């Protein structure tokens, strides 16, 4: 049996899965202490279960989101090695930043060496200011991490108690500013996150739960609890991923769907294209900083069931703030929930109060309660629909760098609008109608997020880059370099090497992966031509364990 737990801002949800069926669900208000919320929800769904039958627990939490939003971490300094390029004055990481001499180029060659004296001076400066946590990030460090490692070695020697994070691990993609920001966040959150992980482990031990525990990432994959400490920031924004995987598990396979999660004051929208959740082409934006954190493509609209409605001139508008619950539920002001109530699209609250709210709102415009409610629903559905259209447009317009990629671009239209979260289900048919789709409220919609967590599976990847002209290969995730024979190395060997490294990594993570499950998700091969001759080849491969969900949920399990 599997358990999925999703700790959201307002509610913590949990489900217990037995094969393809939901056996128990829980929905409790999220407490100030996240761990307490997790345990409370767990206890509810595990009430009648022998802990020995429990195979796996997957937790999606807002722990990192809360740490970062509340700046609940020690101060972190950045040592950057940008070398030539964009002027350094555009770098603003909102923290103490020192620029070091040194440069690596796109092929990983050192073009400017480090200056040890300068590094030592920079460290004294940080020490004097009381820093004990340092992120070190260099331009092109994923192509050659030597500079970052050298700086780390100097810190280790002079200040052995400092915490150092390196850019090539935290941000292995090509994007230096995002690498620096991601390294900063990794450095800031690792220690408090580790404390969280430890307390989860202790609490589970106390309950004699020995199931494997995984943490959900923003891209919908999971990491073993212990290993999640390596990339704590990857666990941010896992909530929308949980909901989306939930819809994937609760609706027919291979559909193109819009996932709409309408909450109190925000609506999250995600896309499932031909059965696969759409990933954001670039990393997440965290606290106004762009990062390399992989995430699903999610858009938030500042509107929900409890949004404040008012008049602006002779138009009804919604405000992003929440004054309280809906008027029909004893709140102070009219909300979209009141409109739904008047039109009979929800059973929440008192009908008479909802009528009053809509009448008051529409009276200056000479509208009846029903007419006002109709306008409100139209307005909300329109603004959500517009965001959905933007998402599809953005996806279609994502840059392509190869002819075949550009030519195969085609319009994909959704066929289903799936509503989850249970906040304002009444709106889903209206949104679906505007998009020409079928509305679907899947079974277990109020806890679809917890279902998503339960069915999420671990993903691991390995990126190999080989440069036969320079005679080396490199595993990006590990900063590992090895020699290759320029003549005999070829595409098959490159792929075999990448697969072998992935299997090693999987073993280290305790994951059972068979070689034929491995997917090649990125493949780039370039002949290097120098003066009308081929002087070498560049290979860039990413292989990964399969993405997706462990199972679909059959209806009527409970």
Partner 1 sequence: MSMSNASEKPTGLIFFPAFDWAISPTHPEREERLLYTRDQIFEEGIMDLPQVSEYTPVLATTHDIAMTHFCVPRVEDQVTEAHLIAAGAAILLADEIVSGQIKNGFALVRPPGHHSMRVVHGNRGFCNINNEAIMVNYLRRRKGIKRVAIIDSDVHHGDGTQDIFWHDPDVLFISFHQDGRTIFPGTGFTNELGGPGAYARTINIPLPPGATDESLLYIVDNLILPVLSDFKPDFIVNSAGQDNHFTDPLGSMRFTAQGYARLTEKLRPDLAVLEGGYAIETALPYVNMGIILALAGLDYSAVLEPDYQKFRESADLAGQVRRMVDQLLQRWAKRDQVSISQSDMTGNYFQHTKRIYYDTDNIQENQLEKLRLCDNCPGYLSIETKANHGYGQTGGKALCLSIPIDACASCRTEAADLYEKAKKARTYSYVYLQDKSADLFLGYDTANGKEWRSEGS
Give the shortest CB-432-to-partner 1 separation in angstroms. 29
Distance, CA of 503 to CA of 462 (rounded, Å): 9
Choosing from 48, 50, 71, 92, the residue that interacts with partner 1 (CB under 8 A) is 92
Nearer Cβ to partner 1 (404/411): 404
**The three-state (H, E, C) secondary structure of 253-292, written as one string:** CCCCEEEEEECCCCEEEEEEECCEECECCCCCEECCEECC
Q: Residue 128 corresponds to which tokens in the numbers above?
A: 């004097």
Q: CB-based contacts of 158: which residues, under 8 Å, 6+ apart?
A: 120, 123
d(CA 463, CA 479): 10
In angstroms, give the least distance from the CB of 125 to partner 1. Answer: 22
- Binding residue (CB under 8 A) for partner 1 from 21, 273, 370, 538: 538
The site for partner 1, by CB under 8 A, has a size of 44
Positions in 392-451 near partner 1 (CB under 8 A)? 397-404, 406-407
Interacting residue with partner 1 among 75, 96, 107, 547 (CB under 8 A):
107
Closest CA to 262 of 378, 421, 375: 421
| Burial degree of 64 (CB within 10 A; 0-12, 13-18, 19+) | buried
| Residue 175 within binding range of partner 1, rule CB under 8 A | yes
Does position 86 bind partner 1 by CB under 8 A?
yes
88 binds partner 1 (CB under 8 A): yes
Tell which one of 106, 128, 206, 313 touches partner 1 (CB under 8 A).
106
Which uninterrupted H or E stretch holds 237?
A: none
In this chain, which stretch among 90-98, 187-195, 241-249, 453-461 interacts with partner 1, using CB under 8 A? 90-98
Among 504, 507, 527, 555, binds partner 1 (CB under 8 A): 527
Report the nearest approach of partner 1 to the CB of residue 530 (Å): 9
Shortest spacing between CB 247 and partner 1, in angstroms:
28
Q: What is the DSSP letter of 75?
A: -
Asked if residue 279 binds partner 1 (CB under 8 A), the reply is no
Q: Which one of the spans 116-124, 171-179, 202-210, 359-367 is the region binding partner 1 (CB under 8 A)?
A: 171-179
> Nearest Cα to 146, choosing from 166, 132, 125?
166
Structure tokens at 231: 């990339």
Is residue 299 a contact residue for partner 1 (CB under 8 A)?
no
The answer to whether residue 491 forms part of the interface with partner 1 (CB under 8 A) is no
- Distances, alpha carbon 325 to alpha carbons 31, 262, 306, 421, 425, in Å: 19, 15, 6, 16, 16
Residues lying near partner 1 in the complex (CB under 8 A) are found at: 84-92, 103, 105-107, 111-112, 139-140, 174-178, 282, 290, 397-404, 406-407, 524, 526-529, 531-534, 538
């Amino acid at each position: 049996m599997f358990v999925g737990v999703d700790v959201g801002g307002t509610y913590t949800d949990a489900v217990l899965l037995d094969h393809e069926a939901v056996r128990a669900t829980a929905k409790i208000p999220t407490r100030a202490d996240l761990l307490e919320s997790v345990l409370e929800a767990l206890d509810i769904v595990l009430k009648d279960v022998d802990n020995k039958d429990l195979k796996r627990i997957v937790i999606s939490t807002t722990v990192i989101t809360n740490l970062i939003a509340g700046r609940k971490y020690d101060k972190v300094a950045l040592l950057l090695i940008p070398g030539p390029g964009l002027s350094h004055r555009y770098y603003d990481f909102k923290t103490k930043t020192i620029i070091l001499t040194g440069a690596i180029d796109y092929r990983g060659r050192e073009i400017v060496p480090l200056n040890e004296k300068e590094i030592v001076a920079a460290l004294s400066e940080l020490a004097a200011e009381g820093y004990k946590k340092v992120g070190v990030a260099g331009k092109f460090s994923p192509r050659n991490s030597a500079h970052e490692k050298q700086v780390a070695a100097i810190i280790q020697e002079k200040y052995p108690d400092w915490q150092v994070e390196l850019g090539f691990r935290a941000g292995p993609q090509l994007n230096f500013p995002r690498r620096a920001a991601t390294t900063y966040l990794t450095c800031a959150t690792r220690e408090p996150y580790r404390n969280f992980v430890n307390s989860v482990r202790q609490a589970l031990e106390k309950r004699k739960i020995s199931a494997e525990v995984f943490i959900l990432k923003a891209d919908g994959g999971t990491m073993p609890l212990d290993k999640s400490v390596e990339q704590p920031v990857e666990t941010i924004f896992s909530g929308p991923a949980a909901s989306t995987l939930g819809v994937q598990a609760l609706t027919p396979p291979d559909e193109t769907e819009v996932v709409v999660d309408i909450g109190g004051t925000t609506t999250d929208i995600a896309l499932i294209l031909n059965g696969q959740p759409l990933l954001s082409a670039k990393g997440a934006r965290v606290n106004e900083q762009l990062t390399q954190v992989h995430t699903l493509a999610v858009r938030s609209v500042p509107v929900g069931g409890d949004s404040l409605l008012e008049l602006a001139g002779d138009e009804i508008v919604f405000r992003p703030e929440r004054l309280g619950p809906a008027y029909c539920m004893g709140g102070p002001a009219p909300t979209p929930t009141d409109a739904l109530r008047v039109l009979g699209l929800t059973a929440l609250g008192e009908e008479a109060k909802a009528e009053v709210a809509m009448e008051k709102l529409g009276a200056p415009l000479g509208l009846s309660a029903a007419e006002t409610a109709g306008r409100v629903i139209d307005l909300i559905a329109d603004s959500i629909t517009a965001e959905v259209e933007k998402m599809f447009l953005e996806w279609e317009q994502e840059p392509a760098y190869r002819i075949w990629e550009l030519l195969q671009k085609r319009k994909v239209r959704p066929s289903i609008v799936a509503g989850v979260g249970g906040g304002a289900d009444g709106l889903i048919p209206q949104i679906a109608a505007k998009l020409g789709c079928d509305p679907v409220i899947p079974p277990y919609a109020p806890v679809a997020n917890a279902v998503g967590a339960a069915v999420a599976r671990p993903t691991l990847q390995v990126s190999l880059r080989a440069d036969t002209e320079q005679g080396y290969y490199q595993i990006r995730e590990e900063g590992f370099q090895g020699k290759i024979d320029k003549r005999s190395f070829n595409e098959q060997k490159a792929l075999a090497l990448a697969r072998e490294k992935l299997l090693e990594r999987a073993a280290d993570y305790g994951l059972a992966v068979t070689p034929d499950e491995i997917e090649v998700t990125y493949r780039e091969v370039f002949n290097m031509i120098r003066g009308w001759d081929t002087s070498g080849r560049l290979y860039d491969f990413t292989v990964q364990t399969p993405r997706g969900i462990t199972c679909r949920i059959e209806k009527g399990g409970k």
